[in-house]
Chain A
Amino acid sequence: MQRQSTGYLFVLPALLVLGLLIAYPVAYTGLLSVTDNQGNYVGVENFARILGARATPTAFMNTLWWVFGSIVFQVILGVLAAILLNQNFRGRAIVRSVTLIPWVVPGIVAATTWAWMLHTEFGIINYMLTAPGIIPEPVGWLTNGSTVLPVMIAINIWKMFPFVAIMVLAGLQSIPNDLYEAARIDGASFWEEVWYVMLPQVRPVIVAVTLLLVIWALNHITIIYAITRGGPANRTLITPIQIFRTAFESVQFNQAAALSVMFFAVAIVVVFIYIRTLASNAGEAR
């Protein structure tokens, strides 16, 4: 027992710093969510108000689309890119480096550049599509209610799939050659190799990366905020941006805290379900 308590003493400084930097803000957010701006206890009033806001359900649905759409394509594209980059071909090192570029570009720079490229009047994307006559007139990518969220998701996919690719590539490279040789002796085609050798071997990597992607998508602000600020008419408003706007534009810290608390709970549940399902699946696979 003596030894154990000495151990606790040694980790105390780290725990104190963690407490100050993590536990205190979390607890303070909780406190903010049940008080008014004078610090008086108001129960669930902040929760009721923010849930009653017209934007809240919209933002929630948008968040679901945003997370789901981003993750699916990021993972699929990322894995395909990793398999491609794992092949032997001339100039592979260059292609590998170039693939990483979207991920390395700072989010705000990428977002602003995309906003300009997508502009209806002077954006290069509409110019390239209209000049050779592919489409008859410019598309309002960011002003059309049905294209703006998909466009945001596409930018997010472009930004993050290289990360998936590089992580999966690292996993692929750790697969021993024996497995491929064994598969080839059994007469496996390339796609069978992918399906029966590569994917099962990198499964833990994909699981971990997907979890990270889910968390990042749930926390996301930069791209959407820099391009549309959640507009037009809340078409691209996702919950983290709503929290940001409520707190720092409307200066309603208490309602923003209430929304954060609820969002935190939802995020925890999502992550929990995800880990549980994948952990049990992995058990069956063995």
Chain B
Amino acid sequence: MTKLFKTMALLGCTVSGLALSAGWASAGEVTWWTPNFNEARARELVTKFEAANPGITINLEITTTDGLPQRILTALQSGAAPDVIDVQHGWVNGYAQNNLVLPLDEVLTGREDYIPAALDYVTWEDKLWAIPYRIETHAIIYNKADFVAAGLDPANPPQTWEEFAAAAKAMTKDGKSGFAITGGGEVGNTIFRSLPFIWMAGGGIISEDGTEVLVNSPETVKAVTYYTDFFKNGISPSSTLENDGTANRRLFIAETVSMYQSGQFDVNSIRQENPNIDIGVMTIPHPEGADTAAILGGWSLVVPTDAKNPEEAKTFIGFLGEAENQAVLTDTFPARVSAMEAERFQDPILNVFKEMLPFGRPVPVHPNWVQITQAYFDGIQRILLGDEDVQTAMDGAAEEIEALL
């Protein structure tokens, strides 16, 4: 009996010891989760911060983007969260609504210096729940040589939907695809690339206040038809249904695709892997008489409600929010206008991406957004597979989404 109790007591100690060690953090220590693409620049900033603030140690933990939302959600709900987390703008609202992060209005300096859409993204009930530091939108990356080969002028890329479709068609020859859309991979890939077309046409997946289904409205159907027709007319590669953004970039690098949508982060890898391509960038084409549009993407910093050292965390976020530090940390563009003056944003190839920023919009906020987009994406795949026409597929998606609102 005694032995049994001893064993159990020992087991109990081990378990509670493990639980304690997971939540152990000494005063003045800030644990910061940042994705791997930030690592080098984050280390640079941590060194700078620690030199200026001797009382605070920053404990850098590197995350990977695959499965990151699930990992963060688990950490936030477990009560053993880090002090600062890098998250995408779109995730912040859900955290705020479930009381998982702290409001950060007091930390924000230079409110008027920020791109308004970035702050709107992370605002809920008039409070700011995150400090955005990185913003970006897509544009269309194209191969200038393919324009010339098709008898088009690479200095004057198409502006409207009709011009663009005609150009894409002209470049589809000799085994090349004029314009690659996505139809596979993670849902987000296709949302990021097709939702802007829907917005330009005046439609949506759901209304901005999340009360109405717009996915089978005539405007949305028109835009989805425009998007999916690139595949149906043989302009997008036959592998479209298995391609995500990365696959499209590979096809572009292999010079089998002439145009595709992406952000500026693709430019460097194209230059490295195939220096022969003369890269052009154009704004996403718009319907005659309407503005272009894009989804505003990017990253923000949040402080979990369960953070061990929230005050030090806020000091640190305040430091990262300074314009010169934002200019270092961001992989794409900084959320502050004044930070944009830094040397690294002056490469002319970035100009069009900068032009696209004011047209960037946040995606609607809804607790079931992931399932809503999944229903829409399934509809897109049914169209691409040839199972259903656009109207039927979107009606089906509308029925599913209706149940989720």
A and B: interacting chains: yes
Listed in ascending order, the chain A residues whose CB lies under 8 Å from chain B are 9-10, 12-13, 16, 49, 52-55, 115, 119-122, 138, 140, 142-143, 145, 228-229, 231-235, 245, 248-252
A250 adjacent to B374 (CB under 8 Å): yes
Asked whether B385 lies within 8 Å of A232 as measured between CB atoms, the reply is yes
Enumerate 20 A-B pairs (CB-CB under 8 Å) in ascending A order: A13-B4, A13-B11, A49-B403, A54-B378, A115-B242, A138-B238, A140-B239, A142-B242, A143-B183, A143-B241, A145-B386, A228-B242, A231-B378, A231-B381, A232-B384, A233-B381, A233-B382, A233-B384, A248-B70, A249-B374
Contact residues in B for A140 (Cβ distance below 8 Å): 238-239, 241-242
Provide the bound-state CA to CA distance between A108 and B238, in Å. 25
A114 to chain B, nearest CB (A): 12
Partner of B237, one of A54, A120, A228: A120
Which residue of chain B lies nearest to A52 when distances are taken between CB atoms in the complex?
B403
Q: Is the CB of A143 within 8 A of B242?
A: yes
CB-based contact B239/A232 at 8 Å: no
Of the residues B184, B251, B399, contact of A121 by C-beta under 8 Å: B251
**Given the contacts A12-B4, A13-B8, A232-B381, A121 and B239 also touching, CB distance less than 8 Å:** yes
Establish whether residues A120 and B239, one from each chain, have CB atoms under 8 Å apart when the complex forms: yes
Whether A231 and B256, one on each chain, are in contact in the complex, defined by CB atoms closer than 8 angstroms, is no
Write the chain A residue with the least CB distance to B98.
Answer: A37
The number of residue pairs between A and B whose CB atoms lie closer than 8 Å in the complex comes to 88
List residues of chain B with CB under 8 Å of any chain A CB.
1, 4, 7-8, 11, 70, 73, 183-186, 237-242, 247, 250-251, 254, 256, 368, 370-371, 374-375, 378, 381-382, 384-387, 396, 399-400, 403
Residues in chain A near residue B371, CB distance under 8 A: 250, 252
Q: Which chain A residue lies CB-closest to B381?
A: A233
Report Cα–Cα, A55/B382, bound state, in Å: 13
With contacts A12-B4, A142-B241, A232-B184 taken as known, whether A249 is within 8 angstroms of B396 at the C-beta atoms is: no
**What's the nearest-Cβ distance from chain B to residue A238, in Å?**
15
CB of A232 within 8 A of CB of B368, answer: no
Main secondary structure of the interface of A (DSSP, over half): loop
Chain B residues with Cβ below 8 Å from A138 are: 238
Would A13 and B7 count as touching, CB distance under 8 A?
Answer: yes
Smallest Cβ-Cβ distance to B1: which chain A residue? A9
B-side contacts of A245, CB under 8 Å: 374
A55 CB → nearest B CB, Å: 8
- Known contacts A249-B370, A250-B371; is A120 also within 8 Å of B387 by CB? no
Interface contact B239-A233, CB-CB below 8 Å: no
CA distance A60 to B396 in the complex (A): 19
Inside 8 A of A235's CB, which chain B residues have their CB? 385
For residue A55, which residue of chain B has the nearest CB? B378
* Chain A residue contacts of B241, Cβ below 8 A: 140, 142-143, 231-232
| Closest residue of A by beta carbon distance from B256 | A121
| CB nearest neighbor in A for B94 | A251
Which A residues lie within 8 Å of B396 (CB)? 54
Given A233-B378, A249-B374, A250-B374: A53 in contact with B400 (beta carbons within 8 A): yes
- Residue in B11, B237, B239, B382 whose Cβ sees the most chain A Cβ within 10 Å: B239
- When A54-B396, A121-B237, A122-B254 are in contact, do A145 and B387 touch as well, CB less than 8 Å? yes
Would you call B242 and A119 a contact (CB within 8 A)? yes
Q: Which residues of A contact B400 (CB under 8 A)?
A: 53-54
Q: How far is the CB of B133 from chain A (nearest CB, A)?
A: 25
User: Are B186's CB and A9's CB within 8 A?
Assistant: no
Distance, CA A231 to CA B186, complexed state (A) = 10
Q: How far is the CB of A255 from chain B (nearest CB, A)?
A: 10
In the bound complex, residues from chain A placing their C-beta under 8 Å from that of B4 are 9-10, 12-13
Contact among B239, B250, B256, B378 with A143 in the assembled complex (CB-CB below 8 Å): B239
How far, in whole Å, are A143 and B238 apart by their CA atoms in the complex? 8
Once bound together, how far apart are the Cα atoms of A257 and B256, in whole Å?
Answer: 45
Nearest-CB distance from A230 to chain B (Å)? 10
Complex Cα gap A251–B185 (Å): 19
